[in-house]
Chains A and B, each alone.
Chain A
Amino acid sequence: MDKFDREKALNVLIALSLLIIPFIAIEMDEPFYVTLATRVVVFAIAGVGLNLALGLGGLISFGHAAFFGIGGYAAGILASHALNYEPLMTSLFELNGTTEMLIIWGVAVVASGLAALIIGLFSLRTSGVYFIMITLAFGQMIYYFAISWPAYGGEDGLSIYVRNKFPGVNTLDPINFFLICFTLLMLSILLISVLKNSRFGAALQAARQNDERLSTVGIHPFKIRLTTFVVSAMITGLAGALYADLNRFVSPSMLSWHTSGEIMVFVILGGVGRLFGPVVGAALFILFESIFGGLTEHWMLFLGLVLLAVVLFARGGLIGVIAGKTRHG
Protein backbone atom coordinates (compact mmCIF):
# COMPACT_ATOMS: atom_id res chain seq x y z
CA MET A 1 0.00 0.00 0.00
CA ASP A 2 1.09 3.53 -0.74
CA LYS A 3 2.54 5.33 2.27
CA PHE A 4 0.09 8.15 1.92
CA ASP A 5 -2.85 5.76 1.91
CA ARG A 6 -1.37 4.03 4.89
CA GLU A 7 -1.51 7.21 6.93
CA LYS A 8 -5.11 7.78 5.88
CA ALA A 9 -6.08 4.27 6.89
CA LEU A 10 -4.27 4.71 10.18
CA ASN A 11 -6.12 7.96 10.83
CA VAL A 12 -9.48 6.29 10.29
CA LEU A 13 -8.44 3.50 12.64
CA ILE A 14 -7.37 5.98 15.31
CA ALA A 15 -10.60 7.95 15.05
CA LEU A 16 -12.77 4.84 15.24
CA SER A 17 -10.87 3.36 18.19
CA LEU A 18 -11.16 6.58 20.10
CA LEU A 19 -14.84 6.79 19.29
CA ILE A 20 -15.77 3.31 20.55
CA ILE A 21 -13.78 3.39 23.79
CA PRO A 22 -16.42 5.28 25.82
CA PHE A 23 -19.16 2.99 24.56
CA ILE A 24 -17.20 -0.07 25.63
CA ALA A 25 -16.54 1.62 28.97
CA ILE A 26 -20.25 2.19 29.54
CA GLU A 27 -20.98 -1.37 28.46
CA MET A 28 -18.46 -2.58 31.07
CA ASP A 29 -19.87 -0.18 33.65
CA GLU A 30 -16.63 1.77 33.94
CA PRO A 31 -17.79 5.37 33.40
CA PHE A 32 -14.42 6.68 34.56
CA TYR A 33 -12.95 5.67 31.22
CA VAL A 34 -15.43 7.90 29.44
CA THR A 35 -13.92 10.85 31.28
CA LEU A 36 -10.45 9.63 30.45
CA ALA A 37 -11.31 9.34 26.75
CA THR A 38 -12.80 12.83 26.86
CA ARG A 39 -9.57 14.11 28.38
CA VAL A 40 -7.67 12.55 25.48
CA VAL A 41 -9.99 14.25 23.02
CA VAL A 42 -9.74 17.67 24.66
CA PHE A 43 -5.96 17.50 24.95
CA ALA A 44 -5.83 16.35 21.34
CA ILE A 45 -7.75 19.46 20.24
CA ALA A 46 -5.25 21.62 22.11
CA GLY A 47 -2.48 19.73 20.31
CA VAL A 48 -4.18 20.08 16.92
CA GLY A 49 -4.10 23.82 17.48
CA LEU A 50 -0.42 23.85 18.31
CA ASN A 51 0.34 21.45 15.48
CA LEU A 52 -0.85 24.04 12.96
CA ALA A 53 1.74 26.53 14.21
CA LEU A 54 4.45 24.04 15.08
CA GLY A 55 4.02 21.33 12.46
CA LEU A 56 2.99 23.28 9.40
CA GLY A 57 4.47 26.64 10.26
CA GLY A 58 7.58 25.59 12.20
CA LEU A 59 6.64 28.03 14.96
CA ILE A 60 7.88 26.53 18.21
CA SER A 61 5.44 28.19 20.57
CA PHE A 62 6.15 27.51 24.20
CA GLY A 63 3.22 29.65 25.25
CA HIS A 64 0.16 27.79 24.06
CA ALA A 65 -0.94 27.28 27.67
CA ALA A 66 -1.91 30.95 27.53
CA PHE A 67 -4.56 30.19 24.93
CA PHE A 68 -5.65 26.96 26.62
CA GLY A 69 -6.04 28.88 29.87
CA ILE A 70 -7.75 31.88 28.31
CA GLY A 71 -10.28 29.52 26.75
CA GLY A 72 -10.71 27.86 30.13
CA TYR A 73 -11.17 31.12 32.00
CA ALA A 74 -13.60 32.37 29.35
CA ALA A 75 -15.76 29.36 30.13
CA GLY A 76 -15.22 29.63 33.88
CA ILE A 77 -15.92 33.33 34.11
CA LEU A 78 -18.99 33.32 31.89
CA ALA A 79 -20.47 30.31 33.65
CA SER A 80 -19.77 31.51 37.19
CA HIS A 81 -21.40 34.85 36.50
CA ALA A 82 -24.43 33.15 35.03
CA LEU A 83 -24.71 30.63 37.88
CA ASN A 84 -24.34 33.35 40.52
CA TYR A 85 -26.72 35.70 38.68
CA GLU A 86 -24.08 38.42 38.70
CA PRO A 87 -23.79 40.49 35.54
CA LEU A 88 -20.27 40.73 34.08
CA MET A 89 -20.68 44.42 33.59
CA THR A 90 -23.28 47.01 34.50
CA SER A 91 -21.68 50.34 33.70
CA LEU A 92 -22.51 51.00 30.02
CA PHE A 93 -25.08 48.29 29.56
CA GLU A 94 -25.78 45.11 31.39
CA LEU A 95 -23.74 42.14 30.21
CA ASN A 96 -24.59 38.79 31.67
CA GLY A 97 -22.73 35.52 31.92
CA THR A 98 -23.99 32.46 30.13
CA THR A 99 -24.05 28.70 30.42
CA GLU A 100 -24.58 28.15 26.69
CA MET A 101 -21.59 26.25 25.34
CA LEU A 102 -21.97 27.72 21.87
CA ILE A 103 -21.61 31.26 23.20
CA ILE A 104 -18.83 30.25 25.58
CA TRP A 105 -16.90 28.63 22.75
CA GLY A 106 -17.29 31.74 20.66
CA VAL A 107 -15.97 33.94 23.44
CA ALA A 108 -13.12 31.51 24.19
CA VAL A 109 -12.09 31.40 20.54
CA VAL A 110 -12.25 35.17 20.08
CA ALA A 111 -10.41 35.89 23.35
CA SER A 112 -7.58 33.46 22.66
CA GLY A 113 -7.36 34.69 19.06
CA LEU A 114 -7.00 38.28 20.27
CA ALA A 115 -4.35 37.27 22.79
CA ALA A 116 -2.48 35.47 20.00
CA LEU A 117 -2.73 38.51 17.78
CA ILE A 118 -1.02 40.64 20.42
CA ILE A 119 1.56 38.02 21.41
CA GLY A 120 2.20 37.23 17.75
CA LEU A 121 2.76 40.87 16.80
CA PHE A 122 5.67 40.90 19.21
CA SER A 123 7.01 37.37 19.11
CA LEU A 124 6.79 36.67 15.38
CA ARG A 125 9.34 39.37 14.64
CA THR A 126 11.84 36.97 16.14
CA SER A 127 12.63 33.36 15.38
CA GLY A 128 14.40 30.35 16.81
CA VAL A 129 15.22 30.40 20.49
CA TYR A 130 14.04 33.99 20.86
CA PHE A 131 10.60 33.06 19.66
CA ILE A 132 10.43 30.16 22.11
CA MET A 133 11.49 32.46 24.95
CA ILE A 134 9.13 35.30 24.12
CA THR A 135 6.11 33.01 23.83
CA LEU A 136 7.14 31.42 27.13
CA ALA A 137 7.47 34.84 28.75
CA PHE A 138 4.04 35.98 27.57
CA GLY A 139 2.55 32.73 28.81
CA GLN A 140 4.07 33.17 32.25
CA MET A 141 2.93 36.77 32.40
CA ILE A 142 -0.67 35.70 31.91
CA TYR A 143 -0.17 32.89 34.43
CA TYR A 144 1.01 35.26 37.14
CA PHE A 145 -1.76 37.66 36.31
CA ALA A 146 -4.33 34.90 36.86
CA ILE A 147 -2.74 33.91 40.16
CA SER A 148 -2.86 37.44 41.50
CA TRP A 149 -6.34 38.27 40.28
CA PRO A 150 -8.59 37.63 43.28
CA ALA A 151 -11.90 38.28 41.53
CA TYR A 152 -11.77 34.86 39.86
CA GLY A 153 -10.27 32.72 42.57
CA GLY A 154 -6.63 33.67 42.17
CA GLU A 155 -4.45 30.72 42.95
CA ASP A 156 -7.44 28.57 43.97
CA GLY A 157 -9.12 28.72 40.62
CA LEU A 158 -12.76 28.87 39.81
CA SER A 159 -15.44 26.17 39.99
CA ILE A 160 -18.29 25.67 37.56
CA TYR A 161 -21.01 23.93 39.54
CA VAL A 162 -23.01 22.55 36.66
CA ARG A 163 -21.83 21.56 33.21
CA ASN A 164 -22.77 24.13 30.59
CA LYS A 165 -25.60 23.57 28.14
CA PHE A 166 -25.75 22.62 24.51
CA PRO A 167 -29.03 23.00 22.57
CA GLY A 168 -30.91 19.71 22.37
CA VAL A 169 -28.29 17.65 24.19
CA ASN A 170 -28.11 16.53 27.78
CA THR A 171 -24.51 17.47 28.49
CA LEU A 172 -24.58 15.92 31.95
CA ASP A 173 -24.48 12.50 30.31
CA PRO A 174 -20.73 11.88 29.93
CA ILE A 175 -21.15 10.10 26.60
CA ASN A 176 -22.94 13.11 25.17
CA PHE A 177 -20.21 15.45 26.32
CA PHE A 178 -17.63 13.08 24.89
CA LEU A 179 -19.43 13.11 21.55
CA ILE A 180 -19.54 16.90 21.51
CA CYS A 181 -15.79 17.04 22.12
CA PHE A 182 -15.08 14.26 19.64
CA THR A 183 -17.04 16.08 16.93
CA LEU A 184 -15.07 19.25 17.58
CA LEU A 185 -11.83 17.28 17.40
CA MET A 186 -12.76 15.86 14.01
CA LEU A 187 -13.82 19.29 12.77
CA SER A 188 -10.57 20.86 13.92
CA ILE A 189 -8.53 18.15 12.19
CA LEU A 190 -10.61 18.64 9.07
CA LEU A 191 -9.94 22.36 9.23
CA ILE A 192 -6.19 21.79 9.46
CA SER A 193 -6.27 19.33 6.58
CA VAL A 194 -8.15 21.81 4.39
CA LEU A 195 -5.83 24.67 5.37
CA LYS A 196 -2.78 22.55 4.68
CA ASN A 197 -3.78 21.97 1.07
CA SER A 198 -4.92 25.52 0.36
CA ARG A 199 -2.97 28.45 -1.04
CA PHE A 200 -2.56 29.68 2.48
CA GLY A 201 -1.19 26.30 3.54
CA ALA A 202 1.27 26.30 0.65
CA ALA A 203 2.57 29.70 1.70
CA LEU A 204 2.74 28.62 5.34
CA GLN A 205 4.73 25.49 4.58
CA ALA A 206 7.03 27.46 2.34
CA ALA A 207 7.59 29.95 5.17
CA ARG A 208 8.71 27.07 7.36
CA GLN A 209 11.07 25.69 4.73
CA ASN A 210 12.54 28.91 3.46
CA ASP A 211 11.42 32.34 4.50
CA GLU A 212 13.53 34.03 1.83
CA ARG A 213 11.92 31.98 -0.93
CA LEU A 214 8.47 33.09 0.15
CA SER A 215 9.26 36.79 0.36
CA THR A 216 11.11 36.65 -2.96
CA VAL A 217 7.90 35.62 -4.73
CA GLY A 218 6.16 38.55 -3.05
CA ILE A 219 4.35 36.94 -0.12
CA HIS A 220 4.91 38.44 3.34
CA PRO A 221 5.95 35.62 5.68
CA PHE A 222 5.01 37.68 8.73
CA LYS A 223 1.37 38.06 7.71
CA ILE A 224 1.11 34.36 6.93
CA ARG A 225 2.64 33.41 10.28
CA LEU A 226 0.53 35.86 12.28
CA THR A 227 -2.67 34.47 10.77
CA THR A 228 -1.48 30.96 11.51
CA PHE A 229 -0.62 31.80 15.08
CA VAL A 230 -4.06 33.29 15.66
CA VAL A 231 -5.94 30.33 14.16
CA SER A 232 -3.72 27.94 16.07
CA ALA A 233 -4.46 29.76 19.33
CA MET A 234 -8.20 29.76 18.63
CA ILE A 235 -8.26 25.98 18.36
CA THR A 236 -6.24 25.56 21.54
CA GLY A 237 -8.50 28.11 23.23
CA LEU A 238 -11.56 26.07 22.28
CA ALA A 239 -9.91 23.05 23.87
CA GLY A 240 -9.40 25.11 27.02
CA ALA A 241 -13.12 25.92 27.22
CA LEU A 242 -13.97 22.23 26.84
CA TYR A 243 -11.40 21.32 29.48
CA ALA A 244 -13.05 23.71 31.91
CA ASP A 245 -16.37 22.07 31.23
CA LEU A 246 -14.93 18.59 31.57
CA ASN A 247 -13.45 19.30 35.00
CA ARG A 248 -16.06 21.89 35.99
CA PHE A 249 -13.08 23.80 37.25
CA VAL A 250 -10.45 26.20 35.96
CA SER A 251 -7.23 27.07 37.69
CA PRO A 252 -4.07 28.99 36.84
CA SER A 253 -2.30 25.67 36.28
CA MET A 254 -4.02 25.57 32.89
CA LEU A 255 -1.91 28.63 32.06
CA SER A 256 1.42 27.44 33.42
CA TRP A 257 4.38 26.54 31.27
CA HIS A 258 3.92 22.88 32.28
CA THR A 259 0.75 22.90 30.26
CA SER A 260 2.56 24.46 27.29
CA GLY A 261 5.13 21.69 27.56
CA GLU A 262 2.47 19.02 27.74
CA ILE A 263 0.69 20.30 24.64
CA MET A 264 4.01 20.27 22.84
CA VAL A 265 4.64 16.71 24.04
CA PHE A 266 1.33 15.58 22.51
CA VAL A 267 2.41 16.96 19.17
CA ILE A 268 5.95 15.60 19.23
CA LEU A 269 5.00 12.14 20.48
CA GLY A 270 2.32 11.68 17.86
CA GLY A 271 4.22 13.25 15.01
CA VAL A 272 4.90 16.89 14.23
CA GLY A 273 2.85 18.06 11.29
CA ARG A 274 0.83 14.83 11.07
CA LEU A 275 -2.93 15.37 11.12
CA PHE A 276 -3.64 12.77 13.81
CA GLY A 277 -0.33 13.18 15.60
CA PRO A 278 -1.77 15.12 18.55
CA VAL A 279 -4.51 12.50 19.00
CA VAL A 280 -1.99 9.69 19.32
CA GLY A 281 0.27 11.85 21.48
CA ALA A 282 -2.51 12.84 23.87
CA ALA A 283 -3.71 9.24 24.09
CA LEU A 284 -0.23 8.02 24.95
CA PHE A 285 0.17 10.77 27.51
CA ILE A 286 -3.08 9.87 29.28
CA LEU A 287 -2.24 6.17 29.04
CA PHE A 288 1.10 6.72 30.77
CA GLU A 289 -0.45 8.97 33.33
CA SER A 290 -3.12 6.43 34.25
CA ILE A 291 -0.87 3.33 34.19
CA PHE A 292 2.25 4.72 35.87
CA GLY A 293 0.67 7.68 37.65
CA GLY A 294 -0.90 5.26 40.16
CA LEU A 295 2.42 3.55 40.83
CA THR A 296 4.78 6.47 41.14
CA GLU A 297 4.80 10.20 41.28
CA HIS A 298 7.61 10.14 38.77
CA TRP A 299 5.56 8.73 35.90
CA MET A 300 6.68 11.68 33.79
CA LEU A 301 10.11 10.10 33.80
CA PHE A 302 8.83 7.15 31.77
CA LEU A 303 7.11 9.49 29.38
CA GLY A 304 10.30 11.50 29.16
CA LEU A 305 12.16 8.39 28.03
CA VAL A 306 9.62 7.68 25.33
CA LEU A 307 9.81 11.31 24.25
CA LEU A 308 13.58 11.12 24.08
CA ALA A 309 13.37 7.98 21.96
CA VAL A 310 10.92 9.67 19.60
CA VAL A 311 13.07 12.77 19.25
CA LEU A 312 16.23 10.74 18.70
CA PHE A 313 15.00 7.90 16.54
CA ALA A 314 11.57 8.71 15.16
CA ARG A 315 11.31 12.28 14.00
CA GLY A 316 7.88 11.64 12.52
CA GLY A 317 6.54 10.57 15.94
CA LEU A 318 4.42 7.45 16.32
CA ILE A 319 2.43 8.22 13.20
CA GLY A 320 5.71 8.46 11.34
CA VAL A 321 6.86 5.09 12.67
CA ILE A 322 3.71 3.37 11.47
CA ALA A 323 2.86 5.28 8.29
CA GLY A 324 6.30 6.36 7.09
CA LYS A 325 7.58 9.73 6.01
CA THR A 326 5.37 12.37 4.49
CA ARG A 327 5.70 13.50 0.92
CA HIS A 328 4.70 16.84 -0.43
CA GLY A 329 2.96 16.66 -3.83
Chain B
Amino acid sequence: MDKGNMEPVLKISNLFKSFGALKATDDVSIDLYPGEIHALIGPNGAGKSTLIKQISGDLEPDLGSIHFLGKNMAGLGVADRAQLGLGRTFQVSSLALEFSALRNVMLAVQAKSGSSFRFFKPVMKDKALIEGAMEMLTQVDLQERANIPAAELSHGERRQLEIAIALALKPKVFLLDEPMAGMGPEGSKKLTEFLDKLRHQAPILLVEHDMDAVFALADRISVLVYGQVIATGSVDEIRRNPLVRTAYLGEEVV
Protein backbone atom coordinates (compact mmCIF):
# COMPACT_ATOMS: atom_id res chain seq x y z
CA MET B 1 0.00 0.00 0.00
CA ASP B 2 1.03 3.57 -0.50
CA LYS B 3 1.58 5.32 2.76
CA GLY B 4 3.85 7.98 1.39
CA ASN B 5 2.26 11.01 3.03
CA MET B 6 0.12 9.28 5.61
CA GLU B 7 0.77 9.53 9.33
CA PRO B 8 0.61 6.27 11.24
CA VAL B 9 -2.39 6.02 13.57
CA LEU B 10 -0.35 3.98 15.99
CA LYS B 11 3.38 4.17 16.28
CA ILE B 12 5.37 2.01 18.65
CA SER B 13 9.03 2.91 18.94
CA ASN B 14 11.82 0.89 20.54
CA LEU B 15 9.66 -0.66 23.21
CA PHE B 16 11.17 -2.80 25.97
CA LYS B 17 9.47 -4.78 28.70
CA SER B 18 11.00 -7.43 30.95
CA PHE B 19 9.50 -9.72 33.56
CA GLY B 20 12.55 -10.39 35.71
CA ALA B 21 15.11 -11.92 33.41
CA LEU B 22 12.53 -12.60 30.69
CA LYS B 23 12.53 -10.08 27.86
CA ALA B 24 8.89 -10.15 26.76
CA THR B 25 9.24 -7.06 24.57
CA ASP B 26 12.71 -6.50 23.21
CA ASP B 27 13.22 -3.37 21.13
CA VAL B 28 9.91 -3.58 19.28
CA SER B 29 8.96 -0.93 16.72
CA ILE B 30 5.70 -1.38 14.87
CA ASP B 31 3.26 0.99 13.25
CA LEU B 32 -0.27 0.92 11.93
CA TYR B 33 -1.57 3.03 9.06
CA PRO B 34 -5.13 4.10 8.23
CA GLY B 35 -7.13 1.41 6.46
CA GLU B 36 -4.71 -1.43 7.05
CA ILE B 37 -4.69 -4.68 8.92
CA HIS B 38 -1.32 -5.28 10.48
CA ALA B 39 -1.06 -8.85 11.73
CA LEU B 40 1.21 -9.77 14.59
CA ILE B 41 2.15 -13.42 14.62
CA GLY B 42 4.59 -15.49 16.60
CA PRO B 43 4.82 -18.68 18.66
CA ASN B 44 3.26 -19.06 22.12
CA GLY B 45 4.97 -16.88 24.68
CA ALA B 46 6.55 -14.64 22.03
CA GLY B 47 5.17 -11.52 23.75
CA LYS B 48 2.21 -10.65 21.54
CA SER B 49 -0.28 -10.16 24.34
CA THR B 50 2.31 -8.33 26.39
CA LEU B 51 2.68 -5.86 23.53
CA ILE B 52 -1.09 -5.41 23.26
CA LYS B 53 -1.27 -4.79 27.02
CA GLN B 54 1.34 -2.05 26.78
CA ILE B 55 -0.61 -0.39 24.00
CA SER B 56 -3.89 -0.64 25.88
CA GLY B 57 -2.35 0.72 29.08
CA ASP B 58 -2.54 -2.43 31.22
CA LEU B 59 1.23 -2.63 31.40
CA GLU B 60 3.78 0.13 31.63
CA PRO B 61 6.71 -0.36 29.21
CA ASP B 62 10.20 -0.22 30.71
CA LEU B 63 11.48 1.90 27.85
CA GLY B 64 10.33 3.26 24.51
CA SER B 65 7.22 5.09 23.41
CA ILE B 66 3.75 4.52 22.08
CA HIS B 67 2.13 7.26 20.04
CA PHE B 68 -1.56 7.06 19.22
CA LEU B 69 -2.95 9.70 16.85
CA GLY B 70 0.30 11.57 17.35
CA LYS B 71 -0.11 11.68 21.13
CA ASN B 72 2.32 10.05 23.54
CA MET B 73 0.46 7.52 25.65
CA ALA B 74 2.92 7.54 28.55
CA GLY B 75 1.16 7.88 31.88
CA LEU B 76 -2.34 7.33 30.50
CA GLY B 77 -4.42 4.52 31.96
CA VAL B 78 -6.64 1.96 30.25
CA ALA B 79 -9.79 4.06 30.53
CA ASP B 80 -8.06 7.20 29.20
CA ARG B 81 -6.74 5.37 26.17
CA ALA B 82 -10.11 3.76 25.52
CA GLN B 83 -11.69 7.20 25.57
CA LEU B 84 -9.14 8.41 23.04
CA GLY B 85 -10.20 5.61 20.70
CA LEU B 86 -8.42 2.36 21.44
CA GLY B 87 -10.88 -0.48 20.96
CA ARG B 88 -9.56 -3.70 22.37
CA THR B 89 -10.61 -7.33 22.64
CA PHE B 90 -9.01 -9.84 24.97
CA GLN B 91 -7.37 -13.17 24.26
CA VAL B 92 -9.41 -14.61 27.12
CA SER B 93 -12.73 -12.82 26.96
CA SER B 94 -13.32 -10.29 29.68
CA LEU B 95 -16.99 -9.51 30.20
CA ALA B 96 -19.42 -8.49 32.92
CA LEU B 97 -20.65 -12.04 33.32
CA GLU B 98 -23.85 -11.34 35.26
CA PHE B 99 -25.02 -8.82 32.70
CA SER B 100 -26.81 -9.87 29.55
CA ALA B 101 -25.06 -9.56 26.21
CA LEU B 102 -27.15 -6.47 25.59
CA ARG B 103 -26.16 -4.80 28.86
CA ASN B 104 -22.50 -5.50 28.19
CA VAL B 105 -22.76 -3.62 24.92
CA MET B 106 -24.94 -0.92 26.47
CA LEU B 107 -22.11 -0.18 28.86
CA ALA B 108 -19.90 0.67 25.91
CA VAL B 109 -22.61 2.73 24.21
CA GLN B 110 -23.10 4.59 27.48
CA ALA B 111 -19.37 5.24 27.83
CA LYS B 112 -19.26 6.55 24.27
CA SER B 113 -22.39 8.68 24.46
CA GLY B 114 -21.58 10.81 27.45
CA SER B 115 -21.11 10.69 31.17
CA SER B 116 -21.65 7.69 33.40
CA PHE B 117 -22.32 10.10 36.24
CA ARG B 118 -26.02 10.16 35.52
CA PHE B 119 -27.91 8.93 38.48
CA PHE B 120 -31.61 8.95 37.72
CA LYS B 121 -32.78 7.83 34.30
CA PRO B 122 -33.09 4.03 34.14
CA VAL B 123 -30.86 2.58 31.43
CA MET B 124 -33.45 -0.03 30.48
CA LYS B 125 -35.79 2.81 29.50
CA ASP B 126 -33.12 4.59 27.48
CA LYS B 127 -34.02 3.85 23.87
CA ALA B 128 -30.82 5.33 22.45
CA LEU B 129 -28.68 3.04 24.61
CA ILE B 130 -30.70 -0.09 23.87
CA GLU B 131 -31.00 0.52 20.15
CA GLY B 132 -27.36 1.48 19.81
CA ALA B 133 -26.35 -1.73 21.56
CA MET B 134 -28.79 -3.88 19.56
CA GLU B 135 -27.31 -2.53 16.35
CA MET B 136 -23.83 -3.69 17.38
CA LEU B 137 -25.11 -7.11 18.43
CA THR B 138 -26.81 -7.44 15.06
CA GLN B 139 -23.56 -6.63 13.29
CA VAL B 140 -21.86 -9.60 14.93
CA ASP B 141 -24.95 -11.77 14.52
CA LEU B 142 -25.70 -12.02 18.21
CA GLN B 143 -29.07 -10.24 18.28
CA GLU B 144 -30.94 -13.44 19.10
CA ARG B 145 -28.86 -13.83 22.24
CA ALA B 146 -29.22 -10.26 23.49
CA ASN B 147 -30.91 -11.15 26.75
CA ILE B 148 -28.74 -14.08 27.72
CA PRO B 149 -26.29 -13.42 30.59
CA ALA B 150 -22.72 -13.35 29.32
CA ALA B 151 -21.91 -16.22 31.69
CA GLU B 152 -24.28 -18.47 29.74
CA LEU B 153 -22.96 -17.63 26.29
CA SER B 154 -20.79 -20.13 24.45
CA HIS B 155 -17.10 -19.47 24.08
CA GLY B 156 -17.48 -18.34 20.47
CA GLU B 157 -20.42 -16.11 21.33
CA ARG B 158 -18.37 -14.39 24.00
CA ARG B 159 -15.73 -13.60 21.41
CA GLN B 160 -18.42 -12.12 19.17
CA LEU B 161 -19.74 -10.12 22.10
CA GLU B 162 -16.29 -8.67 22.78
CA ILE B 163 -16.16 -7.49 19.20
CA ALA B 164 -19.62 -5.96 19.47
CA ILE B 165 -18.48 -4.05 22.55
CA ALA B 166 -15.36 -2.82 20.75
CA LEU B 167 -17.50 -1.75 17.77
CA ALA B 168 -19.79 0.23 20.05
CA LEU B 169 -16.83 2.32 21.15
CA LYS B 170 -16.39 3.53 17.55
CA PRO B 171 -12.64 3.31 18.09
CA LYS B 172 -9.93 4.82 15.92
CA VAL B 173 -7.87 1.62 16.20
CA PHE B 174 -8.84 -1.96 16.88
CA LEU B 175 -6.47 -4.09 18.96
CA LEU B 176 -7.67 -7.66 18.57
CA ASP B 177 -5.89 -10.37 20.53
CA GLU B 178 -6.65 -13.73 18.88
CA PRO B 179 -10.29 -13.03 18.00
CA MET B 180 -10.60 -16.35 16.15
CA ALA B 181 -9.38 -18.51 19.04
CA GLY B 182 -11.89 -21.26 19.69
CA MET B 183 -14.33 -19.98 17.06
CA GLY B 184 -14.53 -23.09 14.92
CA PRO B 185 -13.99 -23.11 11.13
CA GLU B 186 -17.42 -21.69 10.32
CA GLY B 187 -17.07 -18.88 12.86
CA SER B 188 -13.54 -18.04 11.75
CA LYS B 189 -14.64 -17.75 8.15
CA LYS B 190 -17.47 -15.39 9.04
CA LEU B 191 -15.23 -13.33 11.28
CA THR B 192 -12.59 -13.11 8.56
CA GLU B 193 -15.15 -11.61 6.19
CA PHE B 194 -16.29 -9.28 8.91
CA LEU B 195 -12.80 -8.02 9.76
CA ASP B 196 -12.08 -7.52 6.08
CA LYS B 197 -14.80 -4.88 6.02
CA LEU B 198 -13.99 -3.54 9.46
CA ARG B 199 -10.62 -2.21 8.36
CA HIS B 200 -12.43 0.61 6.56
CA GLN B 201 -13.90 1.75 9.87
CA ALA B 202 -10.55 1.75 11.63
CA PRO B 203 -7.19 0.03 11.13
CA ILE B 204 -6.63 -3.22 12.97
CA LEU B 205 -3.64 -4.56 14.86
CA LEU B 206 -4.47 -8.25 14.72
CA VAL B 207 -2.80 -10.89 16.87
CA GLU B 208 -3.81 -14.23 15.43
CA HIS B 209 -2.66 -17.83 15.25
CA ASP B 210 -5.07 -18.79 12.49
CA MET B 211 -2.78 -18.48 9.44
CA ASP B 212 -5.57 -18.77 6.88
CA ALA B 213 -7.18 -15.72 8.42
CA VAL B 214 -3.87 -13.86 8.70
CA PHE B 215 -2.88 -14.51 5.09
CA ALA B 216 -6.36 -13.60 3.87
CA LEU B 217 -6.58 -10.36 5.83
CA ALA B 218 -3.20 -8.84 6.51
CA ASP B 219 -1.76 -5.96 4.54
CA ARG B 220 1.40 -6.37 6.54
CA ILE B 221 2.63 -8.98 8.94
CA SER B 222 5.14 -8.65 11.76
CA VAL B 223 6.68 -11.75 13.24
CA LEU B 224 7.53 -11.71 16.92
CA VAL B 225 9.88 -14.29 18.41
CA TYR B 226 11.26 -14.08 21.97
CA GLY B 227 10.06 -10.51 22.21
CA GLN B 228 11.81 -9.36 19.04
CA VAL B 229 10.32 -8.47 15.67
CA ILE B 230 12.34 -10.70 13.35
CA ALA B 231 10.54 -9.57 10.19
CA THR B 232 7.91 -7.16 8.92
CA GLY B 233 6.51 -7.26 5.42
CA SER B 234 3.69 -8.16 3.07
CA VAL B 235 2.11 -11.60 3.11
CA ASP B 236 4.35 -12.76 0.29
CA GLU B 237 7.50 -11.36 1.84
CA ILE B 238 6.76 -13.10 5.09
CA ARG B 239 5.91 -16.39 3.38
CA ARG B 240 9.22 -16.27 1.53
CA ASN B 241 11.39 -15.07 4.42
CA PRO B 242 13.76 -17.93 5.37
CA LEU B 243 14.24 -16.64 8.92
CA VAL B 244 10.52 -16.73 9.52
CA ARG B 245 10.17 -20.17 7.99
CA THR B 246 12.68 -21.72 10.33
CA ALA B 247 11.78 -19.71 13.41
CA TYR B 248 8.07 -19.86 13.18
CA LEU B 249 6.17 -21.06 10.16
CA GLY B 250 8.14 -24.27 9.75
CA GLU B 251 7.77 -26.07 6.50
CA GLU B 252 4.04 -26.77 6.86
CA VAL B 253 3.01 -23.41 5.46
CA VAL B 254 4.26 -22.88 1.96
Which single member of B83, B103, B122, B126 contacts A218 (CB below 8 Å)? Answer: B83
Q: Does B104 contact A (CB under 8 A)?
A: yes
Query: Which of A70-78, A134-142, A192-200 lines the interface with chain B?
Result: A192-200
Verify B96–A199 contact, CB threshold 8 A.
no
Please give the number of chain A residues whose Cβ is less than 8 angstroms from any Cβ of chain B in the complex: 29
Chain B interface, >50% SS class = mixed
Known contacts: A215-B82, A216-B78, A216-B88. The answer to whether A227 contacts B117 by CB under 8 A is yes
What CA separation (Å) do A194 and B122 show in the bound complex? 7
Q: Which of A305-329 contact B (CB under 8 A)?
A: 327-329
Q: Does A86 contact B (CB under 8 A)?
A: no
Q: Does A127 contact B (CB under 8 A)?
A: no
Closest-by-CB residue of A relative to B93 is A213
Chain A interface, >50% SS class = helix
Shortest beta-carbon distance from A218 to chain B in Å: 4
Verify B118–A206 contact, CB threshold 8 A.
no
What CA separation (Å) do A220 and B111 show in the bound complex? 10
Contacts of A184 in B (CB 8 A): none
Q: Does A89 contact B (CB under 8 A)?
A: no
What CA separation (Å) do A328 and B149 show in the bound complex? 8
Q: Does B239 contact A (CB under 8 A)?
A: no
List chain A positions with a Cβ less than 8 A from chain B.
194-195, 197-203, 205-206, 209-210, 212-221, 223-224, 227, 327-329
Which single member of A194, A215, A327, A329 contacts B79 (CB below 8 Å)? Answer: A215
Verify B79–A199 contact, CB threshold 8 A.
no
How many residues of B sit at the interface, in one of the four size bands? 35 or more
Known contacts: A197-B122, A200-B118, A210-B95. The answer to whether A218 contacts B112 by CB under 8 A is yes
Contacts of A199 in B (CB 8 A): 110, 115-119, 121, 123, 126
What CA separation (Å) do A205 and B111 show in the bound complex? 14
Q: Does B247 contact A (CB under 8 A)?
A: no
Shortest beta-carbon distance from B151 to chain A in Å: 10
Q: Does B94 contact A (CB under 8 A)?
A: yes
Q: Which of B107-155 contact A (CB under 8 A)?
A: 107-108, 110-112, 115-124, 126, 147, 149
Q: Does B248 contact A (CB under 8 A)?
A: no
What CA separation (Å) do A216 and B104 show in the bound complex? 12
